[in-house]
Structure 1
Amino acid sequence: MDRRSFLKTAALGAALPLAACGRAAHDGRVRLEGWDYEAQLVQRNVARFTELNPDVGVAYTPITSAQFIRKITAEFLGGGGPDVLYMYDDSLAGSVDAEYLQPLDGIDGVDRIYDAIYPSTAAAMTYQGKRYGLPYYTDMQALVYNAEILSRAGISAPPKTLDELEAQAVRIKRAGILEFPIGVAAQLSDTTGFWLWALVYANDTDLFDERLRPVMSTSGSALTGVFEWLERVSRRSGVLDPACLQLLPVPMDNAVMAGRYAYVITSRYALRNYNDPAKSRTAGKIRLAPPPSLDGRTRGTVSSTRLYCLGARTEVRDRAVRLLKYLGGLDAAGQPYTARFWFVQRGLGFAYRDLAGDPEITAVLRRFADPETYAGLARIARARSVTAVPWYPEFEQELQRATQQVLVGGTTPAAASASLDEAARSLAKRYE
């Protein structure tokens, strides 16, 4: 979220109690705020920190995910705000521009942490050459497929190209197994359409160049080719579920677990539920593969990162840094305790490269995914550099709308790419 959007969101915060916006007298405890994912587990981990650091008190406040940005914005605008907080990679640049966060460069151990994590995670936590976060979790998009359905259609291996994906889906459809073998979450939303980014990044191309100028309609961009494939599978062969236009990730997950899709493009994390016998009819049947590319030589995918940050106005900086490093960094033995904790407990993707070869991590991972494929996706992943521009949220909406227009036949693939180039140039000019 850019600064302008932060301030706009803050206007909604007028409905919040006034006390939430002002700075209360600091009681010496480190104020930790994050969205309300598994709050009891967070509290358990924080309790361990305070046992190890009896001189540091922590006041942990979980906030409903849908209200998180609005709540912390109101606090920061009121002169307060948490000492340590969760942050979305999408929102980092705007938070820095709004002067809510402080850089971590120069803090002891930060260089070592950044050397130990995947480059895509490091890039997602860096803005204008400065480091602003330590990793909470990271994940990558993959082609997820139902091996049993493929086997029933006589298919022995997942596709490597988009053309092969379409051909396999046609084969499944003609065999009468599924009418719509492919599913994607293509409903307009305020979150990122990661699956589309993954299909572009699989070709080692981007939507923007190194100076963040749009290149979507140039000959070297894969976006038009991806759009052409979407047009075929939705308008011609008919193997992409037309309900994808109203589909969000959770309903798509439910459809996979009910056996209604042979292929989806989603995060690695989803397999934790997909292959859970207590939750899924397809447990034990779901596999990971790299996103298929146009030429069959997948060279990338897209990553997403959630991070821990340090509030710009903290009055207990030294204590806050200790908590920050406990949550996102390495312990005295050089181990990322909290990253390991979250993976073992809930399967959240880890940013630390060495954990990929850790025996405990591997044993847990084998319950729901192939460890080598899982780690391989992290090695080829890239963060979205365009999140660093203030108009990224608006561009993301334009990208989702253009994708929908291709799916319904409202525009041609080439025209959609050209319109996105123009939209990006217009947004950049408006924000000058």
Structure 2
Amino acid sequence: MGRKALRATVLWAVLAAGLALGQQVVTLRAWTIGPEDASRTRATNLVAAAEELNKVLEAQGAAYRVRVETSFETTNWDNYHRRLLLAFQSGQAPDIVQTTHVDIGAYAEGGYIVPLDEYLGRYRSFAEVTPELWKAVTYRGKRYGVPQDTEARPLYFNKTLLAKLGWSRTQIEGLPQSIREGRFTWEDLIRVGQEAVQKGVVRSGYAYWHRPVNGADFYQFYYACGGVLQDTQSGKLVLDRSALGCMYGLLARLVQTGVMSRNLLGMTWDNWHNAVSSGQVLFASAGTWTWAQWATQYYAKDHGGYSYLWQNFGFALQPALKAGGRPVTLSQPQAYLVTAASRSKDLAVRLLSMVTQPKYDAQHALGSAHLPVLRTTYVLPEVRQDRFLQAVRYMLDYTTYQAMSPDWGVYAEAVFRGISAVESGQLAPEAAVDLVAKDLAAKLGDRVVVR
């Protein structure tokens, strides 16, 4: 699979001493993923929490100790999902898996994971989780996961390039607030992008870039267009033809005006990150974690790291479509899930209660530029002093989520095929909407509402 993995087996001296006395050792296996290396704390924090749990068990005189085996994936989500599915279907799943909240619906329907409500009330640490995040791990009224982190997906802008366009420092620094108040819209972005191309500040197609592969970010456009993804009562997926047409229309205009490259889709992530972080692109939609990626992996790493980023980049919400409209962002919370195959579900949840503490939450957030899940984490001195986390925290007030449905993969693939057809010029937006609507109706039947 070409997988770069971190595998840690932790057995402490206190555990070894316990073994001499015949104590039982309970091994918990946990699979985690970045795939960005900066998120390695998703695995290492479990190791540290297990060490802390063993000290508690020793103090309580428990007859057992915990050994934790973790793996950390750094390839890609497709490989990780295939690995998980194979493990689930073969009965070889680990005790704990970390994945995106979107997977919960499919894994719950498949019987691969267990609801955690009966366990969560036993541990006070879970009460500090931001309440909104419990909604992201709740499927059909049951909580199937423990939130691990969350994020927002900002619009990054290159301050140096805007200055070359003649923007004053006040205008540049005020852009996030202008977007927040609905005064700078997608139409304004297209206008500024065209100007940047015409004046030679950026190459044609380099004024705005979205992600180069299929993913959650595209639904920010759909939500900005007033779209709904899921019916809250029935749980059925919803395809809003008007919103999808609006979204496809915007993407088509970005290409047709020369603001965005027609060949953006299919670019490698490495090329994408290096081009944006080196100052070749004026505006780009990415994640909060991208800030840490750029500083530690890409162009910025050798040009001043975070200092380079603060000097050259700013970030804001995704703009509204029309003046006075509401800007948006999107979050895809990560969660720890306990598998149905685990023989130590109680102990697995207890380990998760230990890792759900501000010190671990802060360590992960500060290192990976994801946002904390605990309300108490934000009051820690090191978090209060972190300029980036404090600057993006407000974005969660504007956030949206993907649908949590076993059929989400089918839905997302159909919508992405429409995106590809529109941006390549193969289909007009209206024709792409028709194609997607027919495709989903044929594949999902009454499990999707097309309106």
TM-score (norm. length: structure 2): 0.77
Number of residue-to-residue matches in the alignment: 387
Q: Corresponding residue for 1:4?
A: none
Aligned amino acid, residue 428 of structure 1: L
Given candidates 47, 53, 66, the residue that maps to 1:57 is 66
* Residue 164 in structure 1 maps to residue 188 in structure 2: yes
2:401 aligned residue: 383
Pick one of 369, 378, 387 that aligns with 1:347. 369
2:419 pairs with 1:403: yes
SS of residue in 2 equivalent to 1:90 = helix
Residue 124 of structure 1 and its aligned partner are, at CA, apart by 2.4
Q: Given residue 287 of structure 1, which amino acid in structure 2 is its aligned partner?
A: G
Deviation at 1:196, TM superposition (A): 1.8
Q: CA offsets, 1:121-178, max 9 Å, x none?
A: 3232111111011112212222111111112112324462110000011111122110
One-letter code of the match for 2:400?
Answer: R
Give distance in 1, aligned partners of 2:292 and 2:163.
22
Q: Does 28-37 or 307-316 show the bigger shift?
A: 28-37
Q: Name the residue aligned to 2:88.
A: 76
Identity among equivalent positions (%) equals 18
Bigger mean CA deviation after superposition, 309-318 or 396-405 = 309-318
Cα deviation for residue 380 of structure 1 reads: 1.6
RMSD across aligned C-alpha pairs, in angstroms?
2.9
Deviations 1:349-397 (A, max 9, x none): 3223454454421323x1xx3724x112112212112x31x22112211
**Contact 1:268–1:288 under 8 Å retained in 2:** no
Per the alignment, residue 15 of structure 1 pairs with none
Determine helix, strand or coil for the equivalent of 1:141.
coil
Greater alpha carbon shift after TM alignment, 271-280 vs 294-303: 271-280
Matches within 5 A, 1:255-270: 255-270=275-290
Tell me the CA shift for residue 280 of structure 1. Answer: 5.1
1:183 aligns with 2:209: yes
- Shift of residue 299, structure 1, vs aligned partner: 4.3
Counterpart check, 1:226 vs 2:247: yes
Does 1:138 pair with 2:161?
no
Note the residue ranges of structure 2 that are not aligned, 5 or more in a row: 2-23, 58-64
**So what's the TM-score if we normalise by structure 1?**
0.80
Task: Give the secondary-structure state (helix, strand or coil) at the position aligned to 1:58.
Answer: strand
More off after superposition, 347-356 vs 168-177: 347-356
The answer on 1:106 being equivalent to 2:118 is: yes
Preserved CA contact (<8 Å) 2:47 2:68: no
Which residue of 1 is the match for residue 266 of structure 2?
Answer: 246
Contact 1:215 1:421 in 2 (8 A): yes
1:289 maps to 2:299: no
Distance 2:211 2:258 in 1: 16
What is the distance in 1 between the residues matched to 2:116 and 2:31?
18
Q: CA deviation at 1:259?
A: 0.8
Partner residue in 2 for 1:308: 336
Cα shift readout 1:183-207 (whole Å, capped 9, x = no counterpart): 12244x4xx2x33211222355324
Residue 28 of structure 1, aligned match among 26, 29, 46? 26
Taking a change above 3 Å as real, the CA distance of residues 422 and 110 of structure 1, as seen in their structure-2 partners, is: farther
Superposed CA offset, 1:284-343 (max 9, x none) = 21111110121132243221121101121322233211112223x24xxxxx33211211
After superposing on structure 2, the runs of 4+ consecutive aligned residues of structure 1 that deviate more than 6 Å are none
CA distance in 2, matches of 1:109, 1:376: 31
Per-residue deviation, 1:102 = 0.7
Contact persistence 1:273–1:280 (CA under 8 A): no
CA distance in structure 2 between the aligned counterparts of 1:144 and 1:78, rounded to whole angstroms: 43
How many Å separate the matches in 1 of 2:34 and 2:329? 28
Residue 124 (structure 1) aligned to one of 136, 140, 160 = 136
Quick one: which amino acid aligns to residue 264 of structure 2? C
**CA–CA separation in structure 2 for the residues paired with 1:359 and 1:202:** 35
Amino acid at match of 2:69: Y
- Partner of 1:59, secondary structure, is strand
Q: Give the 3 Å change call, closer, same or farther, for CA 40–352 of structure 1 in structure 2.
A: closer
Q: 1:403 to 1:265 in 2, by over 3 A?
A: same
TM-superposed CA distance for 1:275, in Å, is 5.2
Amino acid at match of 2:286: T
* Secondary structure of 1:61's aligned partner: strand
Residue 3 (structure 1) aligns with = none
- State the match for 1:320 in structure 2: 348
**Structure 1 unmatched ranges of 5 or more:** 1-11, 13-25, 331-335
Residues 36 and 150 of structure 1: CA distance in aligned 2, closer, same or farther (over 3 Å): closer
**Cα separation, 2, equivalents of 1:286 and 1:118:** 32
* Mapped contact 1:199–1:226 kept (Cα < 8 A): yes
Measured in 1, the distance between the counterparts of 2:344 and 2:142 equals: 22
